[in-house]
Structure 1
């Protein structure tokens, strides 16, 4: 299974590939997983004092903010992160802004279309992976793909997601762009997901609010016990690799079970939202691909 990988804010494909290096090495041992990286399209200037923190090269983000004032407002709130009674309360306090919504409908729509185009251009991509803002973008793409299936009958391709230190998704339903939270919406990510969180992450409420937006019967929570980053400790990565392998086996089993019941491909796709069948070449060796900008598509 191939995963499309989305970096966090102030990132690019090359830096994220390096960041995920130990994770890729650990998960590659199964021979059942491969990865492809893309960069966001919106150039991002790191906050003062962090020019060397986010790595080399031009940095990007996937989801643009609506003006510098909105960006400054969010960065200020991240610096003084609120604490609500629930994860959802925390996020509501965070997104309240003197400047209105931090996002524009067109900006978010174009970003999600860019991600889904990258998925559709490679039929082998059946999973999506994101870190921090990239997790928001990935989750939003899953929900948009689901919406397009429900409203327009557009076939779905994504079967599972991996979220590192995530944040809740954005929805484009009803011609509006909104951050959606589990205690305000009946919508849900309905494919298997693995949520990699750190109990010492100061922004853990973001990750937990994303977890709550997913089908709780197929949403796995993996706590590496550290902060807002991708884990690199070998033992932790070994356990995480086992968790992700189990998730992929869950996806495969759901298709095998339906096939064993002699359900037609057409009926089976309808029953799970028109997800395409697993690749017959599931035992192929792990591989990686990356491209650093919109102009360098893989």
Structure 2
């Protein structure tokens, strides 16, 4: 079973391989036939602000900036990887890797509705869909959502924890907001998920891993809202914008990825796409 592995902005395939070593070791003891393919993004990049000093360059990104041309160029690169190195059964991503794949899948579903999905299952870690891509696809994005997106990205660069960035979602109510926003709602951190057409809902089994202290937590929950709640699991690792490595959490993530892979390759899953 072949899994494409896509790193975060300002890191690399080599770094992502190191960051996921604990998760993969737990998984490979149960499912040894998993094969992980780590690739570097096409754009040289400065190191991510949370990249430890012992991770030496080079560092990469899948695209630079937030304009739609850059994102679509990233999609073109990803399509080339799929054609050259695929097919892949699943995809494992962190941060910008999540943004690349989630938006790629939405564009494919919208413009190529009869094409099979590029993956049978996906695990998203601390990532969301680019707001620019949602607007380009016709999703109504309020100024409140845009402002929240800009603010949380700034807080991430400044290494601010989500504990001090609650805004109108106050700390005392934050946990319930997160729980409610994981399902179709009129207010998933400002997005009305009930107005999203079916063509813009990801219909493969997914796992969404987020940290309650991650400033980008709203983006992770919004992405979960774009995925089918009946074949989706959501997991709070309790930390920030990071790939958790604690033994107990790695075991949980390995079980979730195993569930996702089994569900995604179940023969009846193909019927969902037709």
Give the corresponding residue for 2:126: 165
Deviates more, 1:167-176 or 1:154-163: 167-176
Counterpart position of 1:6: 6
Question: Which position in structure 1 is the counterpart of 2:185?
Answer: none
Residue of structure 1 equivalent to 2:196: 185
Contact 1:171 1:178 in 2 (8 A): no
- Structure 2 alignment gaps of length 5 or more: 142-190
Distance 1:176 1:206 in 2: 17
- The structure with more helix, counted as a fraction of residues: 2
CA–CA separation in structure 2 for the residues paired with 1:6 and 1:165: 12
Task: State the shift of 1:50 in Å.
Answer: 6.8
Q: Which has the larger radius of gyration?
A: 1
Q: Does structure 1 residue 34 correspond to structure 2 residue 47?
A: no
Runs of 4+ in 1 over 4 A off after TM superposition: 49-54, 169-182
What are the superposed Cα offsets for residues 253-298 of structure 1, whole Å, 9 maximum, x if unpaired? 3x1x47xxxxxxxxxx5x4437xxxxxxxxxxxxxxxxxxxxxxxx
Deviation at 1:157, TM superposition (A): 3.2
CA distance in 1 between counterparts of 2:47 and 2:225 reads 30
Partner residue in 1 for 2:90: 127
**CA-atom RMSD, angstroms?**
2.8
Shift of 1:108: 1.5
Alpha-carbon offset, residue 119 of structure 1: 1.7
Query: TM-score of the superposition, structure 1-length normalised?
Result: 0.65
Task: Give the number of the structure with larger relative contact order, counting CA–CA contacts within 8 Å between residues 6 or more apart.
Answer: 1
3-state DSSP of counterpart to 1:162? strand
SS at match of 1:136: helix
Query: Secondary structure, in 3 states, of the residue corresponding to 1:10?
Result: coil
SS at match of 1:168: coil
Please give the alpha-carbon distance, in whole angstroms, between the structure 1 residues aligned to 2:131 and 2:90: 19
For structure 1, which runs of at least 5 residues remain unmatched after alignment? 66-101, 259-268, 275-298
Q: Which residue of 1 aligns with 2:226?
A: 213
Aligned with 1:217: secondary structure? Answer: helix
Residue 88 of structure 1 is matched in structure 2 by none
Checking the alignment, whether the CA contact within 8 Å between 2:122 and 2:260 is kept in structure 1 is: no
Partner-residue secondary structure (3-state), 1:144: helix
CA contact (8 A) 1:168 1:213 kept: no
* 1:145 partnered with 2:146: no
Q: C-alpha separation between the residues in 1 aligned to 2:140 and 2:50? A: 27
Quick check: 1:112 aligned with 2:75?
Answer: yes
Question: Deviations along 1:149-208, whole A, 9 cap, x unmatched?
Answer: 31xx44433111111111224676897698975536322111110011112223211211
Q: Deviations over 1:42-90 (max 9, x none)?
A: 222247x87854821121111221xxxxxxxxxxxxxxxxxxxxxxxxx
| Distance in 2 (alpha carbons) for counterparts of 1:129 and 1:177 | 27
Q: Which residue of 1 aligns with 2:208?
A: 195
1:127-169 deviation line (CA, Å, top 9, x unaligned):
112101111112122223323431xx44433111111111224
